[in-house]
């Protein structure tokens, strides 16, 4: 199944999901393309945010309709979820970032 996340989906992250984490917008492992499962610039960004490391050297260009604040909330809420395995979480959040922004 093709994974898509809309600006409205990202805007729907609640304060409770920010506090306790969520998997609500995380794609199923089978729906994550191999290039995200194996790692790329988007997953490097997700992992840097997860571990509190320096962000990879890149420019972030938001796609039309997406809000950087809502993307940040969605990413952080999903990264702090305890449910999925780490690799699934990083790959899924990387794909989520790619839906909302282009990294150069």
Residue 59: per-residue pLDDT: 96
Residue 1 has pLDDT above 70, yes or no: no
Asked whether 79 and 22 are in contact (CB, 8 A), the reply is: no
Q: What is the band of 3 on the pLDDT scale with cuts at 50, 70, 90?
A: very high
pTM: 0.95
Per residue in 41-97, pLDDT tens? Answer: 999 999 999 999 999 999 999 999 999 999 999 999 999 999 899 999 999 999 999
Q: What is the band of 104 on the pLDDT scale with cuts at 50, 70, 90?
A: very high
Asked whether 38 and 90 are in contact (CB, 8 A), the reply is: no
């Amino acid at each position: 199944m093709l994974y898509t996340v809309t600006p409205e989906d990202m805007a729907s992250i609640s304060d409770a999901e920010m506090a306790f984490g969520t998997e609500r917008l995380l794609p199923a492992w089978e729906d994550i393309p191999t290039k995200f499962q194996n790692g790329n610039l988007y997953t490097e960004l997700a992992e840097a945010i997860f571990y509190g490391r320096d962000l990879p050297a890149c420019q972030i260009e938001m796609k039309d309709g997406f809000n950087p604040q809502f993307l940040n909330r969605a990413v952080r809420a999903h990264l702090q979820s305890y449910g999925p395995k780490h690799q699934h979480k990083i790959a899924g959040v990387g794909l989520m970032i790619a839906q909302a922004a282009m990294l150069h």
